[in-house]
């Protein structure tokens, strides 16, 4: 499963693709775990099923995929947009920005470094949560509305790559991208697996899952949260990140 060695290193990346909060109790930029637990508990009670049965299968997955398992008759875009739009309105006070997120995003905006949010939430949820948290949106984002297959399928991160570099997935220009120089920030095993399947370097945050789970999913780095990922310098050509954590060797 790989060995871990704690270290501090500075690495250069040409772009950053970051999970948001994963929506389904995953936490990268901010933590909405309490809000999501309340949300799914409400829905589970309405469906007369144990909340634990939903929460145990929801990590980093799209709402529509979860509903296909537990309530197929509700697995529609209309219903998903409706219930996700309610979350920031009903549970904003139950979410919090995670350490290091605000500082890193501020540097990305200052430097003009290419970055995108890649999340299992919908467009409605991304815009609402980022506004509630007082965080700026990147020029590009990939949401559940943009893909057919959710994480751990790499479709979302392939689309993220195409957006930040302005090329079509599968094109000659896309294949020329040095994907190992693109860093994915994730915390859910499904997202880590998706990032690695897209060929990217993955920094895993242990904000919701264990180190062992992150290693098993294929993470290259393991850190406690984004306070361990510091932007040293950068521009439109990329960014230097000082990473304090555990580099996984395989």
Q: Output the average pLDDT for the chain.
A: 91
Is it true that the peptide bond before 152 is cis, omega within 30 degrees of 0? Answer: yes
Picking from 129, 128, 127, 119, the residue whose alpha carbon sits closest to that of residue 32 is 129
The predicted pLDDT at position 21 comes to 66
Question: What is the sign, positive or negative, of the torsion defined by CA atoms of 41, 47, 53, 59?
Answer: negative
DSSP letters, the chain, are --EEEEEEEEEEESEEEE---TTTT--SSEE-HHHHHHHHHHHHHHHTS-HHHHHTT-TT--HHHHHHHH-GGG-SHHHHHHHHHHHHHHHGGG-EEPTTHHHHHHHHHHHT--EEEE-SS-HHHHHHHHHHHT-PPPSEEE-GGG-SS-TTSTHHHHHHHHHHHT--TTSHHHHTS-GGGEEEEE-SHHHHHHHHHTT-EEEEETTSS-HHHHHHHT-SEEESSGGGEEEEEEETTEEEEEEEEEEEE-
Q: Which residue in this structure is represented by tokens 């904000």?
A: 207
The predicted pLDDT at position 206 comes to 93
What is the set of active-site residues? 19, 21
Q: Is the pLDDT of residue 26 over 80?
A: no
The predicted pLDDT at position 24 comes to 46
Q: Is the pLDDT of residue 247 over 60?
A: yes
Q: Sorting pLDDT into bands at 50, 70 and 90, what band is 245? A: very high
The predicted pLDDT at position 33 comes to 81
Mean per-residue pLDDT, 180-207:
96
Q: Is the pLDDT of residue 124 over 80?
A: yes
The angle subtended at Cα 40 by Cα 140 and Cα 28, nearest 5°, is: 35
Encoded tokens for 13: 């990346």
Q: Is the pLDDT of residue 241 over 80?
A: yes
The predicted pLDDT at position 82 comes to 92
**pTM for this entry:** 0.85
Measured distance CA(117)–CA(142) in Å, rounded? 6
Number of Cβ within a 10 Å radius of residue 56: 9
- pLDDT single digits (tens) 136-183: 999 999 998 999 998 999 999 999 999 999 999 999 999 999 999 999
Q: What is the CA radius of gyration of the chain?
A: 17
The predicted pLDDT at position 67 comes to 94
Q: What φ, ψ does residue 47 adopt, rounded to 5°?
A: -90, -5
Q: What φ, ψ does residue 205 adopt, rounded to 5°?
A: -95, 135
The predicted pLDDT at position 249 comes to 87
Mean per-residue pLDDT, 186-211:
95
Encoded tokens for 131: 């506004």
- pLDDT single digits (tens) 165-174: 999 999 999 9
Domains in the chain with CATH codes: 3-30+96-249 (3.40.50.1000), 32-94 (1.10.150.240)
Q: Which positions ≥6 away from 78 have C-beta within 8 Å?
A: none
- pLDDT single digits (tens) 64-100: 989 999 999 999 999 999 998 898 889 989 888 999 9
């Amino acid at each position: 499963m790989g060995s871990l060695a704690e270290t501090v290193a500075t690495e250069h990346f040409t772009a950053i693709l970051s999970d948001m909060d994963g929506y389904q109790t995953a936490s990268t930029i901010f933590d909405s775990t309490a809000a999501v637990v309340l949300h799914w508990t409400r829905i589970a009670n309405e469906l007369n099923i144990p909340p634990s049965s939903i929460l145990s299968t929801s990590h980093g997955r799209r709402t529509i995929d979860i509903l296909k398992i537990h309530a197929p008759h509700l697995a529609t875009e209309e219903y998903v947009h409706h219930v996700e739009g309610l979350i920031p309105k009903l549970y904003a006070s139950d979410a919090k920005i995670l350490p290091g997120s605000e500082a890193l995003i501020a540097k990305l905006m200052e430097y003009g470094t290419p970055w995108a949010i890649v999340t299992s939430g919908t467009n409605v949820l991304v815009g609402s949560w980022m506004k509630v948290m007082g965080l700026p949106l990147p020029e590009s984002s990939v949401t559940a509305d943009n893909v057919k297959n959710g994480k751990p399928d790499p479709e979302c991160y392939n689309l993220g790559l195409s957006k930040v570099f302005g090329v079509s997935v599968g094109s000659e220009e896309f294949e020329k991208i040095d994907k190992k120089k693109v860093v994915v920030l994730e915390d859910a095993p499904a997202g880590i697996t998706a990032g690695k399947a897209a060929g990217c370097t993955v920094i895993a945050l242990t904000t919701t899952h264990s180190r062992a789970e992150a290693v098993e999913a294929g993470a290259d780095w393991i850190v406690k949260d984004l306070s361990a990922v510091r932007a040293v310098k950068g521009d439109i050509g990329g960014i230097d990140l000082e990473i304090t954590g555990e580099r996984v060797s395989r």
